[in-house]
Structure 1
């Protein structure tokens, strides 16, 4: 659509993960795409609701202004605050729903979910077999918000980082990591700051 506003990517919280003696401290990167449409990607843990509400307010919107909740996959550190957004369509991995209505999107066969001509959700299995990534054309660059397909920038040079985080299919994860690196200018990983792709 002519004159359509370019989406704005705002990292609400950078993710992290670090091993401790008998456990791991981790939370995911939480990203806002400010449109319209307004989209939140990966809603952290169930204990982060107040932080997310405050961050949205700081950016001039509230939970009811969110049109889509997208979770790259169904792990608890990525879906914990979905309940804050009852007016949004929810995309959790390959599952697309609004209230009690579920939509048949054939991500498994490579189908994409097109939100607008600038924003699409694509299947990128590997970390789990139902992982998705969000591809955003900001007008200046292409940004891929990938969840745990990439743990952080360091895993580009150390495969052990993403493999040790768990991978349901290392083979598929390698294929989809390569695909994202080819199409993206920047990547927002699951547990670290956004980074520029070196072409």
Structure 2
């Protein structure tokens, strides 16, 4: 088992007709490997370092950096973690070395017995979700596959956030909900998966 801590809850809202305020959720996984998922914007380095210090973690103690996709609010502080292997969407690298993995064929990437990376394209065509086995069940750190808990009943929320393939995104939203007990969305608070949520996502799949 691993421990998962949401260091910061993401958010997204329009502040005017031409401006949006947004930042992603940032999570820390402590276990066989120390992992940070989605490193926020480039202006958040001090916040992340202080949050890690609260858990007695220094940047050089992080083994993996995982960005659920390559948008700027999810990769902004990846370069704080130069001792880590980096997974950005479907890309796995360490320094100049790139490791080939068949994410595009639906293949999961196992980090250890508690943590694996699942390809979940939709928001972008190379989105991934991190599945973590914890004492409270399986937690899916899903990035922008889910914007927030409200987008279950109001799908226009995730659609308006941008989706490169809405059909795939619908399928992967249901697939993740069916295997997770909790979801950490890209721009909201962690929420519990209920049968009502699964039923709603199934209905949307055939709409």
* Structure 1: gaps of 5 or more residues: 1-5
Give the equivalent residue in structure 1 for 2:203. none
**Which residue, out of 14, 24, 28, partners 2:9?**
14
Q: Deviations over 1:90-138 (max 9, x none)?
A: 0000000001100001100011110011110010000000000000111
Q: Is the 8 A contact 2:123 2:165 kept in 1?
A: yes
Q: Is the 8 A contact 2:37 2:66 kept in 1?
A: yes
- Give the TM-score of the pair, scaled to structure 2: 0.93
Paired residue secondary structure (1:90)? strand
Residues 1:143 and 2:139 are matched in the alignment: yes
The whole-number CA distance in structure 2 between the counterparts of 1:147 and 1:81 is 16
The whole-number CA distance in structure 1 between the counterparts of 2:28 and 2:57 is 11
The whole-number CA distance in structure 2 between the counterparts of 1:161 and 1:110 is 26
Give the equivalent residue in structure 2 for 1:186. 182
Give the equivalent residue in structure 2 for 1:3. none
Give the equivalent residue in structure 2 for 1:177. 173
Give the equivalent residue in structure 1 for 2:119. 123
Q: Deviating runs (4+, > 4 A) in structure 1?
A: none
The whole-number CA distance in structure 2 between the counterparts of 1:179 and 1:142 is 13
**How many residues get paired?**
194
Paired residue secondary structure (2:4)? strand
Q: Is the 8 A contact 2:108 2:117 kept in 1?
A: yes
* Structure 2: gaps of 5 or more residues: 196-207
Give the equivalent residue in structure 2 for 1:89. 85
